[in-house]
Structure 1
Amino acid sequence: MLAKDGTVYLIGHCRANHAGKGDSTVLQAFIGDKPLPRAPTADKDGKSHFYSGECENLGGGHGP
C-alpha cells in the first residue's frame, strides 16, 4: 500500500484473492508481450502472474 506520505507498506505476500477471473487468451498474450485480444470469456485465474497495489485515500472527497 502506498501511503500519502510516500511510505510503502507490504500488506500481504503470496497469493491474494483480490480480483476475479480473466480470459486465458488475454493472459497468454500478456505473458508473451503481445497485443491483447478481446476477452470473450472469464475462464482463467491469473493471480499467480500479477501484482496488485493500493494507494491510500482519505475518502469523502478529501483526497486527490
Structure 2
Amino acid sequence: MLENLLVIILVVLAIIMIAVILLQPDRSQGLAKNANIVDEEKEGIEKFTEWIATAFLVVAILFQIIR
C-alpha cells in the first residue's frame, strides 16, 4: 500500500518537474544577466523547481528504503 502511494507521488512529481523545467526561460538569451547570478535572487519558477526536485529525491530515497 505504501509502495503504491510512493510510486504515484513519484510519477506526479516527475510530471510536474518536467513541466516546470520546460516552462523556464532559455539561459542563452542573456549572458550579461547570468554573470551576476550568485548575487541575484532566484526567480519564483527556479525556487519551485528546486523544491519539486528535492521532494522527488526524498520520495525516491524513501521508496528505496521501504522497498
* Higher relative contact order (Cα pairs below 8 Å, separated by 6+ residues): 2
Superposed pair shares fold, TM > 0.5: no
* TM-score under structure 1 length normalisation: 0.26
In terms of fraction of residues, the more helix-rich structure is 2
* TM-score under structure 2 length normalisation: 0.26
